[in-house]
Amino acid sequence: MAAKTRDLSREVYTRLREAILSSELLPGHKLSHQALAERLGVSHTPLREAFGKLSQEGYVRHVRNRGYFVSDFSRKEVEDLLEIREALEVHALRRNVEALDGAALRALRGCQNAYRRAVTRGSGADRLHRDRAFHLALAGISGNGALVVTLERVFDRINLKRRIDGLSPDRGIEALAEHQALLAALETRDLGRARPALKRHLNKNKENVLERMREGPSALRPVGRT
């Protein structure tokens, strides 16, 4: 593939992925080659390459003789993703505690302060963004880049299914306290306290996500259609 085509494919992939993650393109939406080619000003070749990568990562699905559609996730798939998230974060925790230094601790506190502001006066989308940042910063302390990349993708796929508008303020306050308990354990490098604190937080998050799925389809409204 020529360098120019690779660059275009990467740009198209990035723009489509952002549109999916922001719910500009909602689950079940058919991705029209012609409409997207005209909208993005590209040929069909970079679109096909972008669709292939998005399909590999689970953001879109290909239906034979029908084309590509934005993926939706079943309850079982979300449960599986939540289990993967827990396994990754708990696995990394010992190394996080061992590698934790002053700079990393300050970064975590900064993430916690940003999450506190999102809970008190931010949007649901901002809350999810700041929570994600806190957990990725924690995982990043381990120095395991592959784990962090995998965790990023798990977060993104879980959040595709979450109800963002109307997220419970009470849950935000609870999660803030759970973060704080985990931070307190990390500040003393106490793995014996940090592990159960992290597990409690992740279990409460899992209960919340699955409960909101039971309440019905996403309350998020599209900001545009292709």
| Per-residue pLDDT at 220 | 35
Same domain, 64 and 80: no
Q: 115 with 131: CB under 8 angstroms? A: yes
Same domain, 63 and 99: no
* pTM, to two decimals: 0.76
Find, among 120, 149, 151, 122, the residue nearest to 135 by Cα. 151
**Domain end marker among 70, 89, 112:** 70
Per the domain annotation, does 106 fall within a domain? yes
Per the domain annotation, does 222 fall within a domain? no
Same domain, 83 and 61: no
CATH code of 65's domain: 1.10.10.10
State the residue for tokens 């798990």.
154
Per the domain annotation, does 186 fall within a domain? yes
Number of domains observed in the structure of the chain: 2
Tens-digit pLDDT string for the chain (226 aa): 456 667 888 899 999 988 887 778 888 889 988 888 888 888 888 899 999 999 988 889 999 889 999 987 788 988 999 999 999 999 999 999 999 999 999 999 999 999 999 999 877 788 889 999 999 999 999 999 999 999 998 998 887 776 554 567 788 999 999 999 999 999 999 999 999 999 999 999 999 888 877 765 443 333 333 3
| Per-residue pLDDT at 223 | 30
Same domain, 109 and 183: yes
| Per-residue pLDDT at 163 | 53
Phi, psi of 30 (to 5 degrees): -80, 135
Range of the domain at 57: 3-70
| Per-residue pLDDT at 167 | 67
Same domain, 185 and 116: yes
Per the domain annotation, does 80 fall within a domain? yes
Within 8 A by CB and 6+ apart from 121, the residues are none
Per the domain annotation, does 219 fall within a domain? no
Same domain, 60 and 85: no
Same domain, 124 and 13: no
